[in-house]
Amino acid sequence: MDITLFWISFIAYFTATLLHILFLSLKSNRLSVGATVFMGLGFLMQTAAMIARTKISGHLPLTNMFEYVTVLAWFAGGAYLVSAWKLKLRILEAVTGPVIFMLYVSASLLPKQAESQLMPALQSVWLQIHVSLAAFGEAVFLVAFVASLLYLIKARTAPVVPGSFRDRLPSADTLDELTYRCVMIAYPLFTIGALFAGAVWAYKAWGNFWSWDPKETCSLIVWLVYSAYLHARLVKGWRGKKCAVLNIVGFVWTLFTLFSNLILGGLHAYGV
Amino acid sequence: MKKTLQTLGSLKIALWLFFALGAVSLLGVIVPQRPGSGFLHDLYNSVPFLALLFLCALNLTVCVITRITANLAHVFKKEFIREPENLRAMKHHRELDRDGFADTAIIHLTKALQQKGYSVKENSDEDRRILYASKGVLSKVGSIVLHLGVLVLFAGGLVSSRMGYVDYLKLGSGAAAPVRERPFTIHVDDFRIVLNKEGKVKSYETDAELKGKDGKTILKKTIRVNDPLIHDGIHFYQSSYEEAPASVHEVRLRLTLPGGPDTTLTAVFGTGVSLPRGNTLYLHDYFCDFSLDMKTREPSNRSANPDNPALMATLMSAEGDTIFQSWLFFNHPEFHGMRPDNPVRVTLESYRPEYQTVLQVRKNPGVPFILTGILMASVGLLLLLYVPVRRVYALALTAQGRTRLLVSGTSSRFEGSFIREFGAIVDGPPKEGA
């Protein structure tokens, strides 16, 4: 049941992606509205899938790579819908939507078996706190990443061709400010969820707050990059291209960290 | 001295340290780490890495010390703006005319601000009333609390690494071991692997008891993963389990009797099995990784891994005579000490291992600091980034029975909601006399 709902939401997100691409080419607002509707449908179906999976397995769907990537995509879908409602920046939606769909594609390639019996190490309330906050933070980092990419396109010095993609983008300042606001929301979630809650859980389970596990270390690097971003912006007054590049590096590393346990092993490898 | 402090606590140094820490940490991810294997393979315990952490802590400490005064000044600052031009220069400002005197306008504005949670202070000159209101100023200490929290966390880690220890105890049911630096021992009453209906592992459980020197029980608890036993600063964690090196639960044997078909039977280790003609087969002395000292001929375990399981079988007659005594090798059944004319030939077909628990014993004196540091850093972070500092300034100038009210405001974050709030404060319904 949960897998069927997953595939229905997959189709909805795929349709939204097609509509987004058509919107970018044909510039019709109706296509953008249609894309947002399908993103909303996909989000609802995905919510239903997560509820179904929770009922089947007896626990929240946070315990393996498939579940984590779908939860991350779900939070990102929620962030997309909130930004569509609040900001109404169609171009931003048109780029964010397909990025979310790419997450969904990667989830579709992972083993989807729901495991009702959690391993002893995962039987803790800290699982819910650590994983959900980390996913929430990373989802908002995703929106910031898209805003930074669009900033770099908008802020190029070459003359703008009227009606071009670059011309249709919001102002560079708007994109820069949006990036900053997203990082401000995401950074505490990621710090408290991924690092602090993870450390407390490790202490409860294994006696050690920090053991330089590959995924832990990669998450620390993510945190250092975003810490540098915030310090440079808040204290040094950095704006613009430097911030955008730092933000993009941070999210690319976040993506690597997400899949690092598949390559590097370590304590988090049980989540495969 | 001041310049040195400024450099040590500078953001530029901090950013470089972030970069260096990230790069070195990345190196440790790429190069496989094995404690005690040299610099690159034990990077996180190496002197250069620890020096880098020290520099980070030093930079953070100096930063906190040099900025604490400025941050606290922000909390307590009261800014009364007396000139209309200064208010008009602010991004959010409004000018209103009110009937009546300045007092009334200021009273209404004060009420509106207080309803929105602002702390309001008043001042006055000959011809004007001046008002300053603020809320959320505590978030200015968020930065201090956050950075102090990280320092406390560092300190906790240092305390644990210098004054703590980690031991691993491998204990079977009924076994006991002393606890380092403590006047009590840990006894394992039972260890079990609990399976669910589908045969999957549900939990690993150790029934443990702490006993004092007098043998009296201090504490009893079932230790599980995520549920350690904690007493007197010592933590006992369910770390793992392994096959007991010197005991098995039960064995399955194949018996070959002369002239008869082979039979199989299951026997409990440490007991005797009755055989035809009144003979009894005793099963004793198990080694999980059998090895024989060629000088002393004494058997022992080469390792704790079940690489060469072997069991001693002794066949005794009804009269109590030993017919044969032979090692039965699970991996090498052809290697034994039985003769062709023995009344029975015994082969070890399989065995059910006995498991012993592996408990991690940890003294972690830095835990209170680390948990406090995490709490401080979390609170500080939420204050700093989620609580906006909002200030409202007002000037009421009275002339010819009418009051000109100038109101301006600033918000450090969430400007959209501040604009709505500011509008509600300023445009609230005029009260009586206005």
The Cα of B224 is separated from the nearest Cα of chain A by a number of Å equal to 8
Do B207 and B227 form a contact (C-beta atoms < 8 A)? no
Neighbours of A181 (CB within 10 A): 18
For A36-85, write each residue's pLDDT tens digit: 999 999 999 999 999 999 999 999 999 989 999 999 999 999 999 999 99
Burial of A208 (0-12, 13-18, 19+ CB in 10 A): middle
pLDDT at position A270: 57
Average pLDDT value for residue range A174-179: 91
* pLDDT tens-digit profile, chain B (434 residues): 778 877 888 888 999 999 999 999 999 988 888 877 777 888 888 888 989 999 999 999 998 888 877 777 777 777 888 888 998 998 899 998 877 777 778 888 999 999 999 999 998 887 888 999 999 888 888 888 999 999 999 999 999 988 999 999 999 999 999 999 999 999 999 999 999 998 999 999 999 999 999 999 999 999 999 999 999 999 999 999 998 888 898 999 999 988 878 999 999 998 899 988 888 999 999 999 999 999 998 999 999 889 999 999 999 999 989 999 999 999 998 888 888 888 889 999 999 999 999 999 999 999 999 999 999 999 999 999 999 999 999 998 887 777 888 999 999 888 888 998 999 998 865 444 43
Residue B412 CA to residue B364 CA, distance in Å, equals 41
* Chain B contact set for A228 (CB, 8 A): 15, 18-19
pLDDT at position A158: 86
Closest residue of chain B to A198, computed from CA coordinates: B374
Average pLDDT value for residue range A2-28: 94
pTM > 0.90: yes or no: no
For A123-162, write each residue's pLDDT tens digit: 999 999 999 999 999 999 999 999 999 999 999 888 888 8
To test the contact with chain A by mutation, choose from B45, B192, B226 the residue with the greatest count of A C-beta atoms within 10 A, namely B226
pLDDT at position B421: 92
Name the least confident of A14-18, A51-55, A224-228, B108-112: B108-112
Q: Is A262 on the interface with B (CB under 8 A)?
A: no
A204 and B228: CB-CB below 8 Å?
A: yes
Phi-psi category of A52—alpha, beta or left, where left has phi over 0 and alpha has psi -120 to 50? alpha
In terms of pLDDT, which residue wins out, A113 or B212?
A: B212
Do A144 and A179 form a contact (C-beta atoms < 8 A)? yes
User: Is pLDDT above 80 for A203?
Assistant: yes
* Chain A contact set for B233 (CB, 8 A): none
pLDDT at position A267: 67
Nearest by Cα to A206 from A263, A248, A267: A267
B11 and A236: CB-CB below 8 Å?
A: yes
Q: Which residues pair with B219 in a beta bridge?
A: B210
B225 and A123: CB-CB below 8 Å?
A: yes
pLDDT at position B116: 92
State how far the alpha carbon of B314 is from the alpha carbons of B212, B281, B317, B324, B332, in Å: 41, 6, 10, 6, 18
Residue B300 CA to residue B287 CA, distance in Å, equals 7
A121 and B226: CB-CB below 8 Å?
A: yes
In terms of pLDDT, which residue wins out, A237 or A218?
A: A218
What 3 state SS string does chain B have? CHHHHHHHCCHHHHHHHHHHHHHHHHHHHHCCCCCCCCCHHHHHHCHHHHHHHHHHHHHHHHHHHHHHHHHHHHHHCCCCCCCHHHHHCCCEEEEEEEECCHHHHHHHHHHHHHHCCCEEEEEECCCEEEEEEEECCCHHHHHHHHHHHHHHHHHHHHHHHHHCEEEEEEECCCCEEECCCCCEEEEEEEEEEEECCCCCEEEEEEEEEEEECCCCEEEEEEEECCECEEECCEEEEEEEEEEEEEEEEEEEEEEECCCCCCEEEEEECCCEEECHHHCEEEEEEEECEEEECCCCCCEEECCCCCCECEEEEEEECCCCCEEEEEEEECCCCCCCCCCCCCCCEEEEEEEEEEEEEEEEEEECCCHHHHHHHHHHHHHHHHHHHHCCCEEEEEEEEEECCEEEEEEEEEECCCHHHHHHHHHHHHCCCCCCCC
The Cα of B303 is separated from the nearest Cα of chain A by a number of Å equal to 25
B21 and A224: CB-CB below 8 Å?
A: yes
Residue A26 CA to residue B247 CA, distance in Å, equals 76
Percent of chain A with pLDDT over 90: 71
The Cα of A17 is separated from the nearest Cα of chain B by a number of Å equal to 30
Which residue numbers of B have CB closer than 8 Å to A's CBs? 11, 14-15, 18-19, 21-22, 25-26, 28-29, 33, 44, 157, 166, 196, 198, 200-204, 224-228, 235, 237-239, 360, 362, 364, 367, 370-371, 374, 377-378, 381-382, 385-386, 413
B201 and A192: CB-CB below 8 Å?
A: no
Residue B420 CA to residue B315 CA, distance in Å, equals 94
Token pair belonging to B226: 């995520």
Per-residue burial over B317-332, b if 16 or more Cβ lie within 10 Å, else e, is eeeeeebbebbbbbee
B28 and A217: CB-CB below 8 Å?
A: yes
User: Is pLDDT above 80 for A210?
Assistant: yes
Locus of tokens 């406090």? B372
Contacts of A202 (CB under 8 A, 6+ apart): A208, A209, A210, A211, A267
Nearest by Cα to A78 from A41, A43, A34, A42: A43
Residue A248 CA to residue A254 CA, distance in Å, equals 10
Locus of tokens 């070959």? B256
Neighbours of A224 (CB within 10 A): 21
Q: What are phi and psi of B245, to 5 degrees?
A: -75, -20
A207 and B228: CB-CB below 8 Å?
A: yes
pLDDT at position B392: 94
* Chain A contact set for B371 (CB, 8 A): 200
Distance of CA B108 to the CA centre of its chain: 52
The Cα of A193 is separated from the nearest Cα of chain B by a number of Å equal to 10
State how far the alpha carbon of B282 is from the alpha carbons of B80, B262, B269, B314, B320, in Å: 97, 19, 8, 5, 12
Identity of the residue in B22, B157, B370 whose CB atom sits nearest the CB atom of A225: B22
Dihedral over Cα of A153, A157, A158, A159: its sign = positive
